[in-house]
Structure 1
Amino acid sequence: MTGLKERSVGIVMNGVTGRMGYRQHLVRSILAIREQGGLAMPDGTVIRPEPILVGRSEAKLAAIAQRHRLDNWTTDLDAALSDSSAEIYFDAQVTSRRAESVRKAVAAGLHVYTEKPIAEDTETALELARVAASAGVKVGVVQDKLFLPGLRKLKRLVDGGFFGRILSVRGEFGYWVFEGSWQEAQRPSWNYRAEDGGGIIIDMFCHWRYVLEDIFGPVRSVQALAATHIPERVDEQGRTYTCTADDAAYGIFELDGGVVAQINSSWATRVFRDELVEFQVDGTEGSAVAGLRRCRVQHRSVTPKPVWNPDLPATEDFRSQWQEVPDNAEFDNGFKAQWELFLKHVVNDEPFPWDFLAGARGVQLAELGLRSAREGRRIAVDELTL
C-alpha cells in the first residue's frame, strides 16, 4: 500500500447479529473488502471500510467483535450515529424496525444503505425517499439477485438479442423450511408472523420487482394467490405458534411488450431443480434457464420437435439438448459487489441506480400482491414518483 492514499469510511452496521447482516454483509462483504486490502479507486485512493457494529444483544455483539478482532461495537444506535468517523448507516434489522432507524441516520447526516424491503408499506418507503432527498444524503437498497452469476449471464443474453422477442418468464423459487419441531427451522420464526413483518410476498416480491424490471422491463400488473400451507410452527424457544403470514405465493406479472412472467415462491416445497431459484425465459429465437450460478440455452436452430405420445416412454434426454453459457468473467459475491458500488457512489459520486425510489417500487409490488391475493383479482401497477 506504499504510496497509496487510504480513505477510511466508517459504516454503522445495524443488525449484524442476524443471519444476513452477519454472513453476507459483514463477513462476506465488508470484512472481505478489508481483507483484499481495501477498494481501489481510479485516482489511486484505496477505500478502507471501518465497521461500527450495532445490535440489541450485547453478548452476541461482543462475540462477533472478538471473533473478527473488531473493537467498535455498541447496543446504542444513537451513540453509533454520532460517532465522528461514521459516514454510512447500514440496516439489516427486521423490517418493522427499519424506517425509524433510517430516519435517525438521515437526520444525523449519514448516507444510508439498507436491506429490502425498506419499509412495511409504500407510503412509508416514499416518505423515506423524500426525507433522504431533502437531506441531500446518498441512499441505496440491496438488490443482490442482479449480481448472481446466473442472472448476469441471463442479462447478457437479453442485451445481446439472443431471445428475439421475449414471450414469457417462468420462475421457481423456494425450499422446505422445517417447522421447528423434530428438526430446527432454518429461517427465523418472525418470517411467519405478519404482525412482525413476515410473509413471503413482502420478502420475495421486492426481489422479483427489480429482477423483472432490470432484466426484462417494467411491471404493469400483478395477480397473486397467497397461501399459508403450514399453519403452525415452533419458534426458537421451542414454543408452538400460529403462522399468520403467507409461506407461499403464486404470482403472474404482465410486463412491457406483452411479456408474461409467472413466479412461484414457497417455503413449503421440496427442491427438484438444479438450484434454489431458476428462471426459464422463452423467446421467438431461443430459450434459457438461469439459476444462481448456471445458465443454459437452446437456440431456435437446434430446438427438437417432440411429439406428445403418452403411450410410449420418453426417448429423448431433453436436458442434454441445452448448451451451457460460459462465465466469460469472474463473479464476486453479489452482496460484496453491490457494496463496492455503493462505496464508490459515496466516495467518488459514481452512479448507483438502486435508490430508495427503486426500493419503494419493490414494496409497492408486494403491497399490490397482497391486495390482489385478498381481493382475488388482477391489479395495475402504477408509476411511483417522489
Structure 2
Amino acid sequence: MATETRTLRIAMNGITGRMGYRQHLLRSILPIRDAGGLLLEDGSRVLIEPILVGRNEAKLRELAELHKVSEWSTDLDAVIADPSVDVVFDASMTSLRAETLRKAMRSGKHVFTEKPTAETLDEAIELARIGRETGVTAGVVHDKLYLPGLVKLRRLVDEGFFGRILSIRGEFGYWVFEGDVQPAQRPSWNYRKEDGGGMTTDMFCHWNYVLEGIIGKVKSVNALTATHIPTRWDEAGQPYTATADDASYGIFELETPGGDAVVGQINSSWAVRVYRDELVEFQVDGTHGSAVAGLTKCVAQHRAHTPKPVWNPDLPVTESFRSQWQEVPANQDLDNGFKLQWEEFLRDVLAGREHRYGLLSAARGVQLAELGLQSNAERRTIEIPEIVL
C-alpha cells in the first residue's frame, strides 16, 4: 500500500542577501531538496519545498528560474499567513527580524533564523516567550558549532584531553576594504549603527554560543570597541560616515559545567590583516594539553609532548613551534555546518520537539552584545544576570 509523501514548505525571507543565498539556499536547502528530501530515522523521506521571499522582484525571479524553485514572493505577510507554509526562515536585516519572527510564530509557523534575533534584549526575550507560548519549534543558526574544527575541539573537551581548562582565546576577522579603490566585501549597513550594524552586535551573539558550546556559561564581560575606519564607501560608490564599531575586543569570565573558572578573550576586527591559518581560530589551554581550532582544522599538543622553550632575545629562534603540534583527525564525515543544523532543525519540527539552539540561547547572545557595548561605554566589567522567561 502506497503511503502519502509529506512535504515541508519553507518560506526563506532575505534570500537574495549573501548569507541567505549562499549558505542557506545554495549550500543547505537546495542540496537537501535535490537529494530527495530529508531522510528520517525510519528510512522514509520528507520532501523540501522552498519559497523565496524578498523585496527585489527581479532578483527573486532570477534565482527561482536558476534553481528551479516554483514559488517566490515579495509579500512577506501573505506568505506568513499562507496555511500551507510550515516554516519561516529569516536572514533579512537585523532591524526587521523581530517583527518577522513575531508574526510568524503567532501564525503558528515554526521559525529558523539568523542572528541576532532582535536589536534589544527586551525584544529577544519577548520572542523567546512567544516561542514558548505558541509551542512552535524555533531554531537559531549556531553554525560555528557544526564546523569540523570546533566539532573536533568540543570532542577534546568531552574526552577530558585538556585536564582543567584554564583559558580560551579567539582571533577573528580580516581586512574589509573601504570601498573607494576596491569594493567592500560586506554591505554598507554593517557599518551604520542606525541600521543595526556593528561588530559587537554582529559577532558577540556568535561568541556567546561558541563559548557556551565549547566551555560553559559566560559570567561577565569587559569589552573595548573601536571604529578604526571612520569613512567608507557604499554600494553606489558614495562616501559615508561609519557610525558603528568595526572592531571589538572582549574579555569574558566563563564557568564550566563542573564549576571551574575559565578566562576567555576574543578579538574581532574588520580592520585586521590575516596572519593565521584561518579567518577564525580558537586556542584552548588546559593543565594537560592545548588545542587550536579553525573552521576545519584542529591541532593539539599534550602535556607529555610539550617542549620546554627557553627565552633568549639574543639568539634567533630555531624551533619550529607549529610542527610540534599534532592534527586531530575528524573520525567522521562532516557536511556543511549550515546544512547539518538545517537537517537537525527540520527533524525537530517533524518530531514536534524543541530545537537545542532556540530563542533563549539567542537572547543570551543579544544580552552579551548589549552588555559588551555597555561595558565599553562605562569602561568596566559587567556581570551577566540570568535570563528568566
**Matches for 1:329-348 after TM superposition, within 5 Å:** 329-348=332-351
Aligned residue number for residue 330 of structure 2: 327
Q: Deviations over 1:103-154 (max 9, x none)?
A: 1111221111110100001100011111222122111111100001000000
Alpha-carbon RMSD: 1.2
Aligned residue number for residue 21 of structure 1: 20
Q: How many residues align?
A: 385
Cα distance change, pair 232–4 in 1 and its aligned pair in 2 (3 A)? farther
Aligned residue number for residue 307 of structure 1: 310
One-letter code aligned to 2:115: K
Provide the rounded CA distance (Å) in 1 between the counterparts of 2:43 and 2:332: 24
Provide the rounded CA distance (Å) in 1 between the counterparts of 2:173 and 2:200: 12
Aligned residue number for residue 285 of structure 1: 288
Q: Deviations over 1:289-320 (max 9, x none)?
A: 10000000000001110011000000100000
**Matches for 1:355-370 after TM superposition, within 5 Å:** 355-370=358-373
Deviation at 1:346, TM superposition (A): 0.5
Unmatched 5+ stretches in structure 2: none
Deviation at 1:351, TM superposition (A): 5.2
**Matches for 1:77-92 after TM superposition, within 5 Å:** 77-92=76-91
Aligned residue number for residue 162 of structure 1: 161
Aligned residue number for residue 266 of structure 2: 263
CA contact (8 A) 1:177 1:185 kept: yes
**Match status 1:227 vs 2:194:** no
One-letter code aligned to 2:343: E
Provide the rounded CA distance (Å) in 2 between the counterparts of 1:189 and 1:293: 29
Task: For residue 86 of structure 2, give the secondary structure of its aligned residue in structure 1.
Answer: strand
**Identity within the alignment, %:** 65
CA contact (8 A) 1:290 1:296 kept: yes
CA contact (8 A) 1:4 1:45 kept: no
One-letter code aligned to 2:191: Y
One-letter code aligned to 1:332: D
Aligned residue number for residue 131 of structure 1: 130
Provide the rounded CA distance (Å) in 2 between the counterparts of 1:226 and 1:356: 26
Aligned residue number for residue 298 of structure 1: 301
Provide the rounded CA distance (Å) in 1 between the counterparts of 2:208 and 2:89: 22
Provide the rounded CA distance (Å) in 2 between the counterparts of 1:32 and 1:5: 22
- TM-score normalized with structure 1 length: 0.98
Task: For residue 86 of structure 1, give the secondary structure of its aligned residue in structure 2.
Answer: coil
Aligned residue number for residue 32 of structure 1: 31
Q: Deviations over 1:83-105 (max 9, x none)?
A: 23201010000100001111111
Q: Deviations over 1:140-169 (max 9, x none)?
A: 111100001000000000000000000011
Aligned residue number for residue 122 of structure 1: 121
Q: Deviations over 1:42-81 (max 9, x none)?
A: 2232121111111000011011111101120010012211
CA contact (8 A) 1:4 1:46 kept: no
Aligned residue number for residue 216 of structure 2: 217
Aligned residue number for residue 180 of structure 1: 179
CA contact (8 A) 2:137 2:352 kept: no
Provide the rounded CA distance (Å) in 2 between the counterparts of 1:3 and 1:213: 46
Provide the rounded CA distance (Å) in 1 between the counterparts of 2:24 and 2:325: 35
Provide the rounded CA distance (Å) in 1 between the counterparts of 2:211 and 2:355: 18
Aligned residue number for residue 46 of structure 1: 45
Provide the rounded CA distance (Å) in 2 between the counterparts of 1:366 and 1:138: 25
CA contact (8 A) 1:141 1:359 kept: yes
Task: For residue 99 of structure 1, give the secondary structure of its aligned residue in structure 2.
Answer: helix
Provide the rounded CA distance (Å) in 1 between the counterparts of 2:384 and 2:83: 43
Deviation at 1:216, TM superposition (A): 0.4
CA contact (8 A) 1:90 1:113 kept: yes
Provide the rounded CA distance (Å) in 1 between the counterparts of 2:4 and 2:385: 47
- TM-score normalized with structure 2 length: 0.97
Unmatched 5+ stretches in structure 1: none
CA contact (8 A) 1:192 1:244 kept: yes
Task: For residue 360 of structure 2, give the secondary structure of its aligned residue in structure 1.
Answer: helix
Q: Deviations over 1:329-361 (max 9, x none)?
A: 111000000000110000023552111101100
Provide the rounded CA distance (Å) in 2 between the counterparts of 1:324 and 1:132: 41
One-letter code aligned to 2:187: P
CA contact (8 A) 2:149 2:297 kept: yes
Provide the rounded CA distance (Å) in 1 between the counterparts of 2:305 and 2:51: 55
CA contact (8 A) 2:218 2:253 kept: yes
Q: Deviations over 1:200-248 (max 9, x none)?
A: 1011100000010111010000000000000000000111000000000
CA contact (8 A) 2:137 2:354 kept: no
Provide the rounded CA distance (Å) in 1 between the counterparts of 2:65 and 2:176: 31
Which shifted more, 64-73 or 158-167? 64-73
